[in-house]
C-alpha cells in the first residue's frame, strides 16, 4: 500500500480528526495537537500500529515539530509518520505514554534536549542532562555552556 | 660503603644491598593495579589489553580492580562528560596514595572529537593531574602497553624523600565540582 | 506474636560499577534481597552526538557514528549512509553492497559474542569465557584493520559505497573465519548451554512477555527472545537482504536464557549470510564518484536497520545545505533499557546484573 492510499484510508476512517497530507521522501500525516491522543489510540487498537519506533523533536524557525514513526509488528507495511506542530512560545503537546509506554523516555529526551513539554507524562524530568541545567541544548539558539570549574 | 666491607663473606651470595628507593620503586612499579573504570569506547581497547593476546599481566597488572580503594592507577579510558566529572574526581579522591592517572585516548586528553560538546570536559587534565597521555582514537592496545611502561619508568625515577604523599602538609585531595545551571561550578565553601 | 516490621531500603549502584557496562547508575529499592523497583539513571556519557552532528557536514558525520555503539561500528555507519543515500537518492555499486553486508554481519557475530561473554562474566564466571569470545573478536578486528586501517573505528562506509576495495588477503582469511565460526559456537555451546549453573540462574529470570516487549518498543534479540519474530531484515528488507537465505531465531519464554540462545542462533545465521555474500561477491567498482561538497536535496527521511542490538534508525532533516538541519539517532539500547524495571521487579538483587547483561547495552548509544 502506498503512503497516499494509507492517508486516504485514514482520512476517510477518522473524519473527526482533520489530517494534513505532507508530501516528501517519507510521506507524513499532519495532526493537530489536540487530536493526537485520539488518533494514536485508534492507530494502536484498530490499525495494529502497536510499535512506536521513534519520537523526534525538530526546531524549525517558525515552529517546533514532533515526529512519530509508527510501525506494526503484526502486519506488513512501512511506517505511518505523524507530525505535530507546537508553537514557539511555551511548546506543549499531549503525551502518548498511556498508548505506547515506550514514549516515556523518548518524550523525556525531547523535553530535555528540545524543551517541548508533554502534558500527562508521568515523570517529565530531564534524562540526559542533570536537573537544574538551564536551556535546551538542541534548540538552534542554545548559547553554549560555560564552566566556572574548568579553566582554559 | 660497598657490599665488600659490610657483608660477611658467607652471606655474600644471599644479601644484596641497594638504596631504599630502588627496592621501594621496584616493588611498586611491578605491581601497579589499575581500577576497573571504563568510561567510553576506549574502555573496550583497555579490556582487550587485558586479554590473552596482549596480556597486561606480564607487567604486574594482574587484574583490574573493582574498587578504587585497592588500586593505584586510574586509566581514564574515554570521554569524561560534565555529568560524570564529579564522580571521576570522587573516585580519584578515594584512591590511596600514591596514585597515578593515565589519560587514554583523544577524548581524555583534550575532548577529542567531542570537544565542542556542551556536556564534554575538554580533557581530564582539567580535573585531575595526569601522569601519562596516550594519544589515539582509540589507542591500540600496544600503545597502552607502551604508556604503562612509561609509567613504570616514572615510578622508578621517584624518590622516597621527595614523594609528596609522605609530607606532613600533603593535601592532594581535589575539590569535587558541582552541577550548575550552565556547567560545572566550584564547590561551595571552597577557598580558592 | 507481633509481626516483624519490614522496611524497604534504597541503594545506589553506579555510575562506576564493574557490571553496569559503562557509566550508568541504578537506584534500587529493595525489600531484603528482593527488588521492589529499579530506576535507571542515564546520561553519564552524553556526548552531544546530535548537536555536533548539526555542526558537521554530511560526510564528516560517518566517523562519529562509529562511536555510538562502539562494539558494532560498521552497523552504525551502515544505518547512517543508507539514510543519507535514501535522502540523496544515491545507488552504491553492486560490489560495495555485498562488501557492506559482509562487514555488517561480521559485526553482528562479534557483538553477540561479546554479549555472551559479558553475560557469563556477570554470572560470576569471571573472564574465562570472555577471553574465549574476545579471541574471536580479535580475528574480526584484524579483518577490519586489513581493510580499513583501524581496529575499532573503521570509518569504512562512505556515502555511495565503501572507501576502499577489499585487500587481496581479505577473502581467504574471511572465508577461513566464517568456516570456523560454527565450530567455535559448538564449542561454546558444549561449554555453556547445558551447564547447570547457567540454566539455573537464567531460566525464568527477567521474563518479558511479547506484548510488553512490543509496548516498550524493544527490538533486536530482546524482542525475538520473547517470541515475536520481528526482524527488520525480513520485515522491511533494506539494501540487498532479500537476496540471502537465512532464518529468524526466536525464543518462547522471553527469559535471559532465551536471549542467550537467540544470540547463539543469530551468530550461526550471520555466518551463513557472510558465506553467501562471499560466494556471490561480484567484481567491479566499490564507490560512486565522490564529491567534495555534498549537498543532498531538501527533505526529511527516516531509515532504520537491524543493528545487532535492535532497530537503529536515523532521522535526518536536510535544508539543502552542507550540514544536516537535524540529525537524530534512534538508538536501540536506549529504548530497550526502558524495559529493565519491568524485568527486574520481584527478582533478587543478583539477578539485576544478569538482566542488564542480557539486554546488551552500550552506554555510548544509550546516552549518545
Ligand atoms: S578517544 Fe575516540 S575511541 Fe576513545 S573514547 Fe574518545 S571517541 Fe571513543
Shortest Cα–Cα distance, B74 to chain A (Å): 20
Of B88 and C288, more confident: B88
> Residue C171: CB partners within 8 Å, gap ≥ 6?
C278, C281
Distance CA B139, CA B12 (A): 47
pLDDT band at B1 (very low <50, low <70, confident <90, very high): low
Quickly list DSSP for C268-296.
Answer: HHHHHHHHHHHHH---S-SBPPP-SS--P
Quickly list DSSP for C197-242.
Answer: HHHHHHTTSS---HHHHHHTT--THHHHHTT----HHHHS--TTGG
**Is residue A152 over pLDDT 50?**
no
Three-point CA angle B174, B179, B180, nearest 5°: 120
Chain centroid to CA B67:
14
Q: Which residues of chain A neighbour B86 with C-beta distances below 8 Å?
A: none
Distance CA B118, CA A142 (A): 10
Contact A148 B180 (CB under 8 A): yes
Model confidence over A15-50: pLDDT tens digits? 777 777 777 777 888 888 888 888 888 888 887 888
Neighbours of A31 (CB within 10 A): 23
Q: Among C312, C322, C315, C324, which residue's Cα sits nearest to residue C364?
A: C312
CB-based contact, B86 to chain A, within 8 Å: no
Distance CA C189, CA C176 (A): 21
**pLDDT at site B192:** 47
Per-residue pLDDT of chain C (368 residues; tens, 9 = 90+): 567 777 888 888 877 776 667 778 888 888 888 888 888 888 888 888 888 888 888 888 888 888 888 888 899 999 999 999 888 888 888 888 999 999 999 999 999 988 888 888 888 777 788 888 888 888 888 889 988 888 888 888 888 888 888 888 889 998 999 899 889 889 888 888 888 888 888 888 888 888 888 888 888 898 899 888 888 888 888 888 888 888 888 888 888 888 999 999 999 999 999 999 988 888 888 887 777 778 888 888 899 898 999 889 999 998 888 888 988 999 998 999 888 888 888 888 888 888 888 888 888 888 88
Lowest model confidence (mean pLDDT) among A78-92, B35-49, B57-71, B84-98: B57-71
Strands A117-119 and B34-35: unpaired
Question: What range defines the domain where residue B62 resides?
Answer: 19-160
Distance CA C138, CA C347 (A): 36
Q: How far apart are the first and last CA of chain B?
A: 49
> Residue C346: CB partners within 8 Å, gap ≥ 6?
C34, C35
Neighbours of C5 (CB within 10 A): 5
Contact C317 A58 (CB under 8 A): yes
Distance CA B26, CA B23 (A): 5
Distance CA C296, CA C314 (A): 15
Per DSSP, C337 falls in state: G
> Is residue B155 packed enough to be buried (19+ CB in 10 Å), middle (13-18) or exposed (0-12)?
buried
- The number of folded domains in chain B is 1
CA distances from A32 to A19, A87, C289 (A): 8, 12, 44
Main-chain phi, psi angles of B100, to 5 degrees: -130, 155
How far is ligand 1, taken at its centre, from the CA of residue B78, in Å? 5
C-alpha cell of residue C246: 537465512
**Is residue A64 over pLDDT 50?**
yes
Q: Which residues of chain B neighbour C363 with C-beta distances below 8 Å?
A: 40
pLDDT band at B133 (very low <50, low <70, confident <90, very high): very high
Shortest Cα–Cα distance, A138 to chain C (Å): 6
ipTM (interface pTM): 0.89
**pLDDT at site C346:** 87
> Residue B135: CB partners within 8 Å, gap ≥ 6?
B105, B106, B109, B143
B98, B27 contact by CB (below 8 A):
no
Distance CA C217, CA B175 (A): 42
Contact A148 B184 (CB under 8 A): yes
Considering only CB atoms, A58 lies closest to which of C230, C236, C326, namely C326
C-alpha cell of residue A73: 509488528
List, in sequence order, the alpha helices (H) in C89-148: 94-122, 128-148
| CATH code assigned at B119 | 3.40.50.12280
Distance CA C288, CA C91 (A): 8
| Domain assignment of residue B180, yes or no | no
- Is the Cα torsion angle C43, C49, C50, C54 positive or negative in sign? positive
Q: Which chains touch C (3 or more CB pairs under 8 A)?
A: A, B
Q: State mean pLDDT over B160-168.
A: 75
| Domain assignment of residue B60, yes or no | yes
SS3 content of chain A, % helix, strand, coil (to 5): 25, 25, 50
Contact B121 A151 (CB under 8 A): no
Q: State mean pLDDT over B94-118.
A: 87
What is the pTM (predicted TM-score) of this model?
0.90
C97, C109 contact by CB (below 8 A):
no
Q: State mean pLDDT over B160-172.
A: 74
Tell the CATH superfamily of the A3-119 domain: NADH:ubiquinone oxidoreductase Nqo5 subunit (3.30.460.80)
| Domain assignment of residue B179, yes or no | no
Lowest model confidence (mean pLDDT) among A108-112, B54-58, B167-171, C292-296: B167-171
Phi-psi group of A97: left, alpha or beta (phi > 0 → left; psi -120 to 50 → alpha; rest → beta): alpha
Q: Which residues of chain B neighbour A114 with C-beta distances below 8 Å?
A: none
**pLDDT at site C55:** 86
Per DSSP, B20 falls in state: H
Of A99 and A77, more confident: A99
How far is ligand 1, taken at its centre, from the CA of residue B44, in Å? 10
| Domain assignment of residue B151, yes or no | yes
Integer-rounded Cα radius of gyration of chain B: 20
| Domain assignment of residue B130, yes or no | yes
> Is residue C194 packed enough to be buried (19+ CB in 10 Å), middle (13-18) or exposed (0-12)?
exposed
Amino acid at each position: 500500500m502506498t503512503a497516499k492510499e494509507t492517508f486516504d484510508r485514514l482520512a476517510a476512517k477518522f473524519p473527526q480528526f482533520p489530517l494534513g497530507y505532507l508530501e516528501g521522501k517519507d510521506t507524513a500525516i499532519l495532526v493537530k495537537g489536540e487530536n493526537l491522543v485520539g488518533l494514536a489510540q485508534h492507530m494502536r487498537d484498530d490499525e495494529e500500529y502497536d510499535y512506536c519506533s521513534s519520537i523526534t523533536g525538530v526546531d524549525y524557525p517558525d515552529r517546533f515539530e514532533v515526529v512519530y514513526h509508527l510501525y506494526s509488528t503484526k502486519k506488513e507495511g512501512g511506517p505511518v509518520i505523524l507530525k505535530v506542530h507546537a508553537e514557539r512560545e511555551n511548546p506543549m503537546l499531549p503525551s502518548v505514554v498511556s498508548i505506547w509506554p515506550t514514549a516515556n523516555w523518548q518524550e523525556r529526551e525531547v523535553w530535555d534536549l528540545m524543551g517541548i513539554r508533554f502534558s500527562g507524562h508521568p515523570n517529565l524530568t530531564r534524562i540526559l542532562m542533570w536537573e537544574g541545567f538551564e536551556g535546551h541544548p538542541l534548540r538552534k539558539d542554545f548559547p553554549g555552556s560555560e564552566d566556572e570549574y574548568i579553566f582554559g | 660503603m660497598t657490599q665488600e666491607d659490610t657483608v660477611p663473606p658467607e652471606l655474600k651470595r644471599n644479601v644484596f644491598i641497594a638504596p631504599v628507593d630502588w627496592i621501594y620503586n621496584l616493588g611498586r612499579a611491578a605491581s601497579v593495579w589499575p581500577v576497573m573504570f571504563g568510561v567510553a569506547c576506549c574502555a573496550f581497547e583497555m579490556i582487550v589489553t587485558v586479554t590473552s593476546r596482549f596480556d597486561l599481566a606480564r607487567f604486574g597488572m594482574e587484574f583490574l580492580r573493582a574498587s578504587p580503594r585497592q588500586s593505584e592507577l586510574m586509566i581514564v579510558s574515554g570521554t569524561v562528560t560534565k555529568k560524570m566529572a564529579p564522580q571521576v574526581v570522587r573516585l580519584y579522591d578515594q584512591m590511596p596514595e600514591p596514585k597515578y592517572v593515565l589519560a587514554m585516548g583523544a577524548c581524555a586528553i583534550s575532548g577529542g572529537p567531542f570537544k565542542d560538546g556542551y556536556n564534554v570536559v575538554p580533557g581530564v587534565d582539567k580535573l585531575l593531574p595526569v601522569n601519562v597521555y596516550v594519544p589515539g582514537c582509540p589507542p591500540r592496545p600496544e600503545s597502552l602497553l607502551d604508556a604503562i611502561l612509561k609509567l613504570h619508568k616514572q615510578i622508578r625515577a621517584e624518590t622516597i624523600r621527595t614523594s609528596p604523599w609522605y609530607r606532613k602538609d600533603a593535601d592532594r585531595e581535589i575539590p569535587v565540582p558541582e552541577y550548575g545551571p550552565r556547567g560545572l561550578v566550584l564547590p561551595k565553601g571552597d577557598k580558592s | 506474636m507481633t509481626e516483624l516490621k519490614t522496611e524497604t531500603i534504597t541503594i545506589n549502584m553506579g555510575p562506576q560499577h564493574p557490571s553496569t557496562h559503562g557509566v550508568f547508575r541504578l537506584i534500587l529499592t529493595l525489600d531484603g534481597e528482593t527488588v521492589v523497583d529499579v530506576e535507571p539513571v542515564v546520561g553519564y556519557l552524553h556526548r552531544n552526538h546530535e548537536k555536533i552532528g548539526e555542526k558537521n557536514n554530511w560526510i564528516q558525520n560517518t566517523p562519529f557514528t562509529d562511536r555510538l555503539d562502539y562494539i558494532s561500528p560498521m552497523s552504525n555507519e551502515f544505518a547512517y549512509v543508507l539514510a543519507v543515500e535514501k535522502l540523496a537518492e544515491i545507488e552504491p555499486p553492486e560490489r560495495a553492497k555485498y562488501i557492506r553486508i559482509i562487514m555488517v554481519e561480521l559485526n553482528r557475530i562479534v557483538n553477540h559474542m561479546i554479549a555472551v561473554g559479558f553475560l557469563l562474566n556477570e554470572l560470576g564466571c569471571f573472564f574465562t569465557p570472555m577471553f574465549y569470545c574476545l579471541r574471536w573478536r580479535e580475528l574480526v578486528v584484524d579483518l577490519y584493520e586489513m581493510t580499513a586501517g583501524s581496529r575499532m573505528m573503521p570509518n569504512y562506509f562512505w556515502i555511495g559505497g565503501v572507501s576502499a576495495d577489499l585487500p587481496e588477503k581479505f577473502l581467504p582469511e574471511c572465508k577461513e573465519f566464517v568456516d570456523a565460526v560454527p565450530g567455535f559456537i559448538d564449542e561454546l555451546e558444549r561449554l555453556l548451554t547445558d551447564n547447570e549453573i547457567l540454566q539455573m540462574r537464567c531460566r525464568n529470570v527477567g521474563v518479558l512477555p511479547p506484548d510488553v516487549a512490543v509496548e516498550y518498543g524493544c527490538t533486536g534479540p530482546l524482542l525475538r527472545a520473547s517470541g515475536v519474530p520481528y526482524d527488520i531484515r525480513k520485515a522491511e528488507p533494506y539494501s540487498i537482504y532479500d537476496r540471502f537465505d537465512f532464518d529468524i531465531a526466536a525464543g518462547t519464554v522471553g527469559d535471559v536464557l532465551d536471549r542467550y540462545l537467540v544470540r547463539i542462533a543469530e551468530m550461526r545465521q550471520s555466518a551463513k549470510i557472510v558465506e553467501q555474500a562471499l560466494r556471490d561477491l561480484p567484481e567491479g567498482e566499490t564507490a560512486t564518484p565522490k564529491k567534495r561538497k555534498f549537498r543532498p536535496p531538501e527533505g526529511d527521511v527516516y531509515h532504520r536497520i537491524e543493528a545487532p542490538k535492535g532497530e537503529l534508525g536515523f532521522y535526518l532533516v536536510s535544508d539543502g545545505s552542507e550540514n544536516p538541519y537535524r540529525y537524530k539517532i534512534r538508538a536501540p539500547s536506549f529504548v530497550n533499557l526502558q524495559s529493565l524495571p519491568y524485568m527486574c521487579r520481584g527478582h533478587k538483587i543478583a539477578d539485576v546484573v544478569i538482566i542488564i547483561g542480557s539486554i546488551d547495552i552500550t552506554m555510548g548509544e544509550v546516552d549518545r
